[in-house]
Amino acid sequence: MEQPPTEYRRDGEEIIARYSIPGGKAAVTFCAKDLRDFGQYGTHAVIFVDVNGSTISYDDLALMKADDRVKLANKVTSKLRAHGHTDLASALDPKGEELALPHLLDEFCAGLWEFYNQSQPDEPSHIPDEPRRKGFFLSPLVMKGAGTIIYGTPASGKSLIALLMMASLNGGSTHLWQWTSRARVLFVNLERSGDSVLDRLFCAHRCLNLPTDDEVYIINARGKSLESIERRARQMVRRYEIDVVILDAISRAGYKGSLNDDTVANAIMNMLASLTPTWVAVGHTSKTNSVDGRGNGIFGSQMFTAATDLAVLVERRKMIDQTNKGIVCKLTCTKANDTPFFDAQYIAIEFEPEGMTSAYMTDSSQWMKDADDSGDSPTDMITHILMTDEEKLTVAELMEKSGLARPTVSIALNSGLYESEPDPDSHKGRKLWRMKD
């Protein structure tokens, strides 16, 4: 039997279509929410499937991927059979029929994006009587409804700053920044092991005098792309009512193509902005994309800079004291939309072998301005990486995190400050390096 054309209707931001199965056995309603267009990566939406007035299943689909649509249709019929509704499942799955559920879902998805654009309201907007003040979750770094990129060279302390921000937002701490509104944070970790992130977060809570038994929301996906965990992130945002997403790091987002490609950059930024209106991302500096002629721009396409509201450069120096156990991170605002540029901030972070032990605001007197004494020697960089990562690393991983060449890393590792052990996962004599006890 030939199916009638899809008749969409709009209810706010939701697109709905209803189909009647011949014989009156079932009425199927599809509801699409949260439509997003990722350019060459396709259009996505969350699709709910109701049968006879009850929601049976839903999923976040790439609308043009047949496998996604078939998977959702099969999930609906499987759930109906599992709950004893075999007659409904059979009515929705008459093999080869045009009114089978997979065909209806195909029809619904095919015209969805076009209808969504055509049905956007054309009503005029009204200028408010007075400007609406921008609020902050965490001033001056996390502005409500805005995006922030914190960026710097490898081993500059970016990830530590991001976790201190997360702990401050979750716990309502004013120890480092002006906390104005508690926020639930989802930390998307593409950079390091899950154990390392939890250890660092424990240290961050300890530094901020926060309890360590609070619930935290983390996606650990080292070695995976942002695109591959998008559905999981979106589900967690809805389930736990997440206010802020923190991504560590942009360089691991893993879209096909270079970060210098405008299309890739736009896809990453669009995905972040579609997860939550407020987001923070960790990035790197670039020698060719500079805001001041010194290579202090955000690495990659200029679309990263264009998409963010706040850009914060993180630089690191060795702390001026006799212990040689601390660093000072300088935070410089390089872009600010709808809010003033804030003065440079200096955060002192101290370490013991178990990790970060204290973090506090200091002033420029702790900042070494002499590049020759900056603490950025290869040995200092590797020491900082091994102390802050709190895990054993291979030479290749140290090269990646420090940006140093293999001969430079090898010379530094032979300084007597470090020790190694065989990597149990390697059959080629690879070693894992750590700080010497």
Q: What is the pLDDT of residues 327-336, one digit of tens each?
A: 889 999 999 9
* pLDDT at position 23: 61
371/305: higher pLDDT? 305
Please determine, for residue 323, whether its predicted confidence score (pLDDT) is greater than 70. no
Per DSSP, the residues of 352-420 read: ETTEEEEEEEE-GGGS---GGGSS-SHHHHHHHHHHHH-S-B-HHHHHHHH---HHHHHHHHTTSSEEE
Amino acid identity, position 170: N
CA–CA separation, 231 and 188 (whole Å): 12
The CA distances from residue 145 to 30, 150, 275, 337, in Å, are 30, 17, 12, 12
Residue 76 parent element (H or E) = helix 66-82
Select from 398, 354, 362, 356 the least CA-distant residue to 380: 398
Angle between helix axes 378-389 and 406-413 (nearest 10 degrees) is: 80
Select from 347, 361, 359, 362 the least CA-distant residue to 316: 347
430/329: higher pLDDT? 329
* Three state DSSP letters for 262-327: HHHHHHHHHHHHHHCCEEEEEEEEECCCCCCCCCCEECCCHHHHHHCCEEEEEEEEECCCCCCCEE
Domains of the chain by residue range: 9-118, 136-376, 390-437
* pLDDT at position 363: 82
* pLDDT at position 372: 39
* pLDDT at position 1: 41
Report the share of the chain in percent with pLDDT over 70. Answer: 86
17/405: higher pLDDT? 17
Angle between helix axes 101-110 and 66-82 (nearest 10 degrees) is: 140
Q: What superfamily would CATH give domain 136-376?
A: P-loop containing nucleotide triphosphate hydrolases (3.40.50.300)
Report the share of the chain in percent with pLDDT over 90. Answer: 25
What are the phi and psi torsion angles at 134 (to 5°)?
Answer: -70, 130
Q: Kind of pairing, strands 278-286 and 244-248?
A: parallel
Mean pLDDT of the chain: 82
Please determine, for residue 141, whether its predicted confidence score (pLDDT) is greater than 90. yes
* pLDDT at position 122: 67
CA atoms within 13 A on the CB side of 369: 3
* 5-10: average pLDDT: 78
Topology of the domain comprising 390-437: Arc Repressor Mutant, subunit A (1.10.10)
**Please, which pLDDT band fits residue 162 given cuts at 50, 70 and 90?**
very high
* pLDDT at position 94: 60
* pLDDT at position 149: 95
The CA distances from residue 285 to 158, 280, 380, in Å, are 11, 16, 19
**Please, which pLDDT band fits residue 389 given cuts at 50, 70 and 90?**
low
Which single residue is written with the structure tokens 């599992």? 82
Q: What angle do CA 406, 158, 353 make, to 5 degrees?
A: 70
Please determine, for residue 369, whether its predicted confidence score (pLDDT) is greater than 70. no
* 340-358: average pLDDT: 89
CA–CA separation, 275 and 247 (whole Å): 11
Under a CB-based contact definition with an 8 Å cutoff, are residues 290 and 283 in contact? no
CA–CA separation, 317 and 368 (whole Å): 6
Q: What is the pLDDT of residues 237-288, one digit of tens each?
A: 888 889 999 999 898 886 667 888 888 888 888 888 888 999 999 998 875 4
CA–CA separation, 254 and 258 (whole Å): 9
Whether a cis peptide bond, with omega within 30° of 0, leads into 249 is yes
Is the alpha carbon torsion for 374, 379, 380, 384 positive or negative? positive
* pLDDT at position 35: 86
Whether a cis peptide bond, with omega within 30° of 0, leads into 424 is no
**Please, which pLDDT band fits residue 208 given cuts at 50, 70 and 90?**
very high
Which single residue is written with the structure tokens 């032990």? 357
Under a CB-based contact definition with an 8 Å cutoff, are residues 368 and 375 in contact? yes
CA–CA separation, 226 and 220 (whole Å): 11
